[in-house]
Amino acid sequence: MILTVTLNTALDVTHHVPKLLPHTSHRVTAVSERPGGKGLNVARVLAALGHEVTATGFAGGRTGAVVRELLSGTARLTDALVPCAGTTRRTLAVVDEASGDTTQFNEPGPQIGSAEWAAFLGRYQDLLAGAAAVALCGSLPPGVPVGAYAVLVRAARAAGVPVLLDTSGEALRRGVAARPEMIKPNAAELAELTGSREPLQATRDARRRGAHAVVTSLGPGGLLAATPQGTWQAAPPRALTGNPTGAGDSAVAGLLSALTEGLDWPARLTRAVALSAATVHAPTAGDFDPRTYEEVRGSVKLTAC
């Protein structure tokens, strides 16, 4: 079983409009709702790949109830979310069909009390006993300690479970010092962590700060990975247009699934890039287009650095 942690779960609402223009009214052509938050997106992709997944984190209020109801229809995914008194946040993505661009609005999330955090820690510790790997993903809701991911990384390492961390800011800085198996920042998050805007230098510097391996998202440029076995850039064969929301989460799912299957780093990166590209061609985060996945997987450009 692969365990995903989404402390700041969400209900992702996606609107499609013919063209997004400021200061005007818009006629929405399509609406969708999905369980959201980075870790839940990762969980849904892992389940679609055939892995057994358990998703934990917080869920509360009417929005949290909708998230849990939607999760209940996902095969191979077990809901282990911890109830909270506050209401789970919503995110709103507006897709401009004319340009293919997406505009995102993210609510902050519910206030988490100390008793709720303690309840989550107990649930997490129990779930580690059956986990082959852990993904710690996304922002921290109000009330959760800024060093929360460092605590969760150390607990996973003590249990002998490899952990991938995908967050940003101070939560990333503290989490990487706890020595996770992998981190997966984007280029801006990596620059904030290391102070360097040169991706290769910054990726290697992040390894020196504690991560066993660092995989950096370069957007259309694919992934840059510094690992104990070498450094590579993996890129799709061509630029893809579509909705990029969730592409990074699909890359996390690719990396984590390949890790648990014992694949080497080139194979991990190939899968991650293909899933990320296939998500750009999917209507919502947490999904991927199977045809694009197979096409890109066979033609990923892998370069040693």
The catalytic residue positions are 249
Give, rounded to a whole angstrom, the gap between the first and last alpha carbons of the chain.
33
Instruction: Identify any residues that bridge with 33 across adjacent strands, giving them in sequence order.
Output: 13
What's the rounded Cα separation, in Å, for the pair 207 and 200? 11
What's the rounded Cα separation, in Å, for the pair 141 and 134? 19
What's the rounded Cα separation, in Å, for the pair 283 and 16? 10
Paired tokens of 128: 């580690």
Instruction: Identify any residues that bridge with 230 across adjacent strands, giving them in sequence order.
Output: 227
* Cβ partners under 8 Å of residue 51, min gap 6: 2, 76, 257, 260
What's the rounded Cα separation, in Å, for the pair 286 and 139? 17
Give the 3-state DSSP-derived string for 183-246, with helices as H, strands as E and coil as C: ECCEHHHHHHHHCCCCHHHHHHHHHHCCCCEEEEECHHHCEEEEECCEEEEEECCCCCCCCCCC
Dihedral angle at the C-alpha atoms of 285, 120, 259, 45, nearest 10 degrees?
Answer: -20
Dihedral sign of CA atoms 154, 158, 160, 161 in order: negative
Number of Cβ within a 10 Å radius of residue 195: 9
* Cβ partners under 8 Å of residue 60, min gap 6: 83, 84, 85, 86, 87, 88, 110
